[in-house]
Amino acid sequence: MSETPEAAPEPGRTRRVVTSTGLLGAMFLMATSAIGPGFITQTTDFTARLGATFAFAILVSVLVDIAVQLNIWRVIGVAEARAQDLANKVLPGAGYVLAALVVFGGIVFNVGNIAGTALGLDALAGIDMRIGGALSAAVAVALFLLRGAGVALDRILVALGVLMIGLTLYVTFVSDPPVGDALRRAVLPGELTGDLFLATVTIIGGTVGGYITYAGAHRLIDNGQGGIRNVAAVTRTSVVGIIVTGVMRVLLFLAVLGVVTGGAAILDAPNAPAAAFAAAAGETGRRLFGLIMWAAAISSVIGASYTSISFVSTFSPRLTRNRDWVVAGFIALCTVLFLTLGQAPETLLILAGALNGLILPVGLGIMLWVAARRSRDLLHGYRYPRWLLAIGVLAWLVTAYIAVNSLSGIADLWQ
């Protein structure tokens, strides 16, 4: 993570087409940011609470996620500028507000990520939550500051990611979920309760909220792979990233649904996701889950810290020069908060996604304003598609409505 990105070319004059490596890098960054400990915990908790009705929240979230990511990646990619810099050009000071919101959401999300490392070590080796979280944070700082260590970490996480998908497929198969009921509830959920609103805004926030959707877009322009010429490739990548996370969400949902409908009580367990995997795959499932959860969490700690600081590093040359140490300090701050807040790790992971969902309408609204009103100068004369702007506005209305209706649920969750 310490490597300095390649300098971006002059805005609007990108000459080379996006390479497959660049596309995969951006998609991988976005997907690993989304499929982390919060992703696993949120999906498990809401499946246990809502049952097959959670399928409706997943369907709505995937549709909203695609609309959000299509617009944000398109605007940032064509403009070849970071989100906070675009916001400041649209409305002086708005970039600082957006950066503050993203950093705040990143802090909460990262506290949840550290909690995820604690959950993983607890399932893997029975290590105390506080000790496991502190040790994992120290490992994250060391991995970040040691140049070149991030490459090895990425390779390990790819292997563990494949293992996670394989294990989830296995648990889905052996748990025998009611697939027909889930399909029906996806379009006919019944009563739209506050819990369903909270579930929807939480998983939207955990997929494209806060810093997550900007991570891949910023990666592309950092590598000089934006520009009008690359619009089609960037668009395909943004959609594929959402589809990958959606498929993983569905698999995990069905796996847990089968366990719950089979009579297993996992909500009262101190580590609900581990209990779900153990109910289907025994003690081996619990240990493997712990290893995968820790690996996903440690990656998310590093990714969330790096991307959050990227929102403020452009404001000062001093921050840019000392970025590595600023990120290390960010991780240390989140660790102190984890150790002192006193909230259960599962609660922190769900709260993180919900708060990122509340932040989402702010950043999306600014990007849509750039697309609608500032295309001549900020988008270098690019004619922004009206259909894309229309679905972006609809997604903004949905995210704002769901966010407002989830406020009571978030308040109850924190108490």
CA 57 to chain centre: 16
Quick: pLDDT tens for 136-194: 999 888 877 776 555 555 565 556 666 767 777 887 888 888 888 889 988 888 777 76
**Higher-confidence position of 14 and 283:** 283
How high is the pLDDT of residue 309?
85
Does a structural domain hold residue 6?
Answer: no
Does a structural domain hold residue 1?
Answer: no
pLDDT for 10 beyond 50 = no
Identify the domain containing residue 91 by its residue range: 20-414
How high is the pLDDT of residue 374?
77
What value does the mean pLDDT take over residues 200-204? 81
Average pLDDT of the chain to the nearest whole number = 78
Does a structural domain hold residue 11?
Answer: no
Please count the structural domains in the chain.
Answer: 1
pLDDT for 217 beyond 60 = yes
Does a structural domain hold residue 195?
Answer: yes
Residue 334 pLDDT level (bands cut at 50, 70, 90): very high
How high is the pLDDT of residue 72?
92
Q: pTM of the prediction?
A: 0.78
Quick: pLDDT tens for 93-130: 888 988 888 888 788 778 888 888 888 898 888 898 88
Does a structural domain hold residue 14?
Answer: no
Does a structural domain hold residue 13?
Answer: no
Question: Beta-carbon neighbour count of residue 192 at 10 Å?
Answer: 12
How high is the pLDDT of residue 111?
86
Quick: pLDDT tens for 131-147: 999 999 998 888 777 76
Residue 336 pLDDT level (bands cut at 50, 70, 90): very high
Query: Which CATH number do you get for residue 66?
Result: 1.20.1740.10
Distances (CA, A) of 70 to 88, 118, 180, 213, 217: 22, 34, 31, 10, 10
Flag the least confident range among 27-31, 43-47, 306-310, 349-353.
349-353
pLDDT for 12 beyond 50 = no
Burial class (CB in 10 A: 0-12, 13-18, 19+), 412: exposed
How high is the pLDDT of residue 252?
86
How high is the pLDDT of residue 391?
94
Does a structural domain hold residue 7?
Answer: no
